[in-house]
């Protein structure tokens, strides 16, 4: 190719817009990428500097706010009444703890937040002198044995459920809450406050470490999901959600060890745990029971309603003489036929005993059988219908027994079973069983993930965790149970249809 041809080819290439664009992209792309990378690095450094400055400013502001609260105490659990004097309540409470407090010792005191119907509001009491405030704080343990003579409010029971704590800022409340979560996990030996300063120990008799930030707590114990989720929040922790909703029974006791039920927001998306911890986080079984009373009652009432169909069926059969095509009714008739036989099984004897109890005792017999969780009450509806027990006698006793008495028994059992310490003990014992160490890991991982979902901090969304092996197995088992249930229904319907087809035509339907 001659030189002129080469020049012409090059000239034609440069006349092509597509060639010019590709050439520009090849030449400028590395330069642009380098400039963008340098600009991003500069921006990242500036952002980190601004974050550090913002964190330092927030720490300074929080320290000043905490210092302004050093003469204040938060009092939880004192009943609230109209036209009350919070100063008088604080003075009488101090007297019960063995501390002399006068009106001159108090700067001011008042309830915190708007009035509520479900629980009394906290009282914040600001003292004139720090020494008097500290004296009452150190004597708070005396409230368990304290008593004010002839006091209309400060009874022994009220004092036993009254708690005095330092008035921490929202950020320090969150730090202390996370520290106590780590203590429950065994990563810390203890966590407490002293003069509004959070302190921790990693082992018994070990050195005391002051904690003033979540990152400082992370430096002590290492990385942890609770610390990560707390760090995802804003610089200053949000206040606890004031609403106190309701939750399923099994979901309340698990996070209850970390908070008072009335302090969390229970919604369809989960339970929000407040940042506040300490003595105010202590709850009783009765507090948890009050949170799920309505749900548990509705569950018990539903089981009572489930006894109505067999009752009406047996009653109609007794009045009309028609023998219904029902397996439970057939079982009941077979039991009555062989009542005097000597080859009855223990279960058949127990069922006949329930029948005699219902027949002879009436209302209180039905109430006793419905109140005790047992499988022998399955034929109670048929038994009462067969003996023409009045409807309100049967249903009233069943409703009271199942929706009131048995409901409270099973509710207490569930709350005790889901206690955090009992669950941890059960997981520990699981590892001692044969092959238990292989199951202990996945089971503990499942519990930790469920706890992370339930222990949601204020302002934090619901955690999206990966599915564990154990939860996948549970899901498959539930699917198998549902399929088996559907197959059993179809099989039962087919058997009933077959019986109707082969029933003798000359059989009398009713007796004269």
pLDDT single digits (tens) 382-419: 777 777 778 888 888 888 988 888 888 888 878 776 77
Average pLDDT, whole number, for the chain?
Answer: 75
Residues 121 and 153 in one domain: yes
Q: 111-115, 275-279, 501-505: which has the highest mean pLDDT? A: 111-115
Position 453 in a domain: no
Using an 8 Å Cβ cutoff, are 435 and 407 in contact? no
Answer with the one of 237, 268, 284 that is the final residue of a domain.
237
> What residues have CB less than 8 Å from 163, skipping those under 6 apart?
75, 76, 77, 140, 278, 279, 280, 282
> What residues have CB less than 8 Å from 388, skipping those under 6 apart?
315, 318, 319
Mean pLDDT computed over 142-156: 68
Q: Is the pLDDT of residue 342 over 60?
A: no
Residues 161 and 185 in one domain: no
Residues 308 and 413 in one domain: yes
Residue 325's Cα: distance from chain center in Å? 45
Which range marks the domain in which residue 52 is found? Answer: 3-64
Position 340 in a domain: yes
Residues 313 and 402 in one domain: yes
Using an 8 Å Cβ cutoff, are 81 and 153 in contact? yes
pLDDT single digits (tens) 89-116: 899 888 888 889 998 999 999 998 888 8
Position 409 in a domain: yes
Q: For residues 436, 440, 442 and 444, what is the CA-based torsion angle, rounded to 10 degrees? A: 160
Q: Residue 487 burial by CB count (10 A; 0-12/13-18/19+): exposed, middle or buried?
A: exposed
From 95, 17, 52, 86, select the one nearest 235 (Cα to Cα): 52
pLDDT-above-90 percentage for the chain: 5
Domain count of the chain?
Answer: 5
From 289, 287, 236, 240, select the one nearest 260 (Cα to Cα): 287
* 71-93: b (≥16 Cβ within 10 Å) or e: bbbbbbbbebeeeeebbebbbbb
Position 94 in a domain: yes
Mean pLDDT computed over 243-266: 43
Residues 95 and 16 in one domain: no
Q: 252-261, 319-328, 348-357: which has the highest mean pLDDT? A: 348-357
If one compares 190 and 244, the residue with the highest pLDDT of the two is 190
Q: How confident is the model at residue 155 (pLDDT cuts 50, 70, 90)?
A: confident
Residues 77 and 177 in one domain: no
Answer with the one of 400, 417, 434 that is the final residue of a domain.
417
Looking at residue 219, what is its pLDDT?
87
Looking at residue 340, what is its pLDDT?
54
Looking at residue 455, what is its pLDDT?
58
Q: Is the pLDDT of residue 280 over 70?
A: no
Write down the residue that tokens 């549970």 correspond to. 474
Residues 28 and 77 in one domain: no
Q: Is the pLDDT of residue 221 over 70?
A: yes
Q: Is the pLDDT of residue 318 over 90?
A: no
d(CA 403, CA 304): 7
- Give the bridge partners for 265, in sequence order: 272
Position 281 in a domain: no
Position 274 in a domain: no
Stretch among 180-189, 201-210, 348-357, 359-368 having the lowest mean pLDDT: 348-357
Q: Is the pLDDT of residue 245 over 60?
A: no
Residues 162 and 195 in one domain: no
d(CA 108, CA 87): 7
Phi then psi dihedrals of residue 463, to 5 deg: -70, 135
Q: Is the pLDDT of residue 236 over 50?
A: no
Q: Is the pLDDT of residue 246 over 50?
A: no
pLDDT single digits (tens) 413-427: 787 767 766 677 777
d(CA 325, CA 315): 14
Position 182 in a domain: yes
Q: Is the pLDDT of residue 127 over 90?
A: yes
pLDDT single digits (tens) 18-69: 777 777 777 777 788 888 888 888 888 899 889 888 888 888 888 888 888 8
Answer with the one of 64, 89, 104 that is the final residue of a domain.
64
Residues 311 and 329 in one domain: yes
- Where residue 362 falls (left for φ over 0; alpha for ψ -120 to 50; beta otherwise) is left
């Amino acid at each position: 190719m001659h030189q002129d041809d080469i020049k012409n080819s090059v000239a034609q290439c440069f006349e092509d817009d597509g060639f010019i664009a590709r050439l520009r992209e090849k030449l400028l792309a590395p330069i642009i990428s380098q400039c963008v990378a340098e600009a991003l690095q500069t921006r990242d450094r500036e952002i980190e500097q601004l974050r550090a400055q913002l964190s330092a400013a927030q720490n300074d502001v929080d320290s000043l706010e905490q210092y302004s609260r050093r003469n204040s105490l938060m009092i939880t659990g004192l009943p609230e009444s109209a036209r009350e004097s919070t100063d008088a309540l604080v003075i009488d409470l101090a007297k019960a703890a063995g501390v002399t407090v006068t009106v001159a010792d108090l700067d001011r005191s008042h309830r915190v937040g708007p009035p509520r119907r479900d629980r009394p509001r906290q009282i914040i009491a600001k003292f004139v002198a720090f020494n008097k405030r500290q004296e009452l704080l150190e004597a708070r343990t005396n409230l368990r044995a304290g008593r004010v003579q002839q006091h209309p409010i400060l009874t022994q029971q009220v004092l036993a459920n009254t708690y005095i704590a330092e008035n921490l800022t929202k950020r320090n409340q969150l730090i202390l809450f996370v520290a106590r979560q780590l203590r429950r996990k065994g990563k810390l030996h203890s966590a407490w406050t002293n003069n509004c300063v959070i302190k921790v120990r990693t082992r018994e008799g070990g050195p005391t470490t002051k904690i003033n930030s979540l990152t400082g707590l992370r430096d002590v114990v290492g990385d942890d999901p609770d610390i990560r989720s707390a760090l995802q929040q804003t610089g200053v922790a949000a206040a606890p959600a004031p609403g106190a909703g309701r939750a399923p029974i099994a979901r309340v006791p698990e996070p209850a060890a970390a908070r008072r039920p009335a302090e969390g927001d229970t919604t369809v998306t989960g339970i929000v745990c407040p940042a506040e911890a300490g003595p105010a986080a202590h709850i009783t079984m009765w507090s948890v029971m009050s949170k799920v009373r309505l749900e548990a009652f509705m569950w018990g009432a539903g089981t009572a309603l489930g006894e109505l169909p067999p009752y009406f069926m047996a009653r109609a059969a007794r009045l009309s003489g028609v023998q219904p095509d029902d397996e439970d009714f057939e079982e009941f008739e077979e039991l009555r036929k062989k009542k005097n036989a000597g080859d009855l099984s223990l279960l058949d004897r127990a069922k006949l005993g329930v029948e005699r109890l219902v027949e002879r005792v009436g209302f209180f017999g039905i109430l006793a059988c419905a109140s005790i969780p047992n499988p022998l009450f399955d034929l109670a509806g048929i038994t009462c219908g067969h003996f023409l027990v009045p409807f309100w006698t049967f249903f009233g006793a069943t409703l009271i027994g199942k929706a009131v008495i048995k409901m409270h028994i099973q509710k207490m059992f569930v709350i005790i079973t889901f206690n955090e310490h009992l669950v941890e003990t059960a997981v520990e014992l699981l590892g001692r069983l044969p092959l238990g160490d292989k199951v202990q890991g996945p089971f503990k991982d499942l519990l930790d993930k469920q706890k992370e979902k339930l222990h949601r901090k204020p302002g934090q969304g619901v955690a999206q965790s990966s599915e564990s092996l154990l939860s996948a197995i549970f899901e498959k088992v539930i699917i198998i149970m549902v399929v088996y249930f559907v197959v059993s229904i179809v099989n039962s319907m087919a058997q009933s249809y077959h019986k109707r087809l082969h029933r003798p035509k000359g059989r009398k339907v009713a007796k004269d």
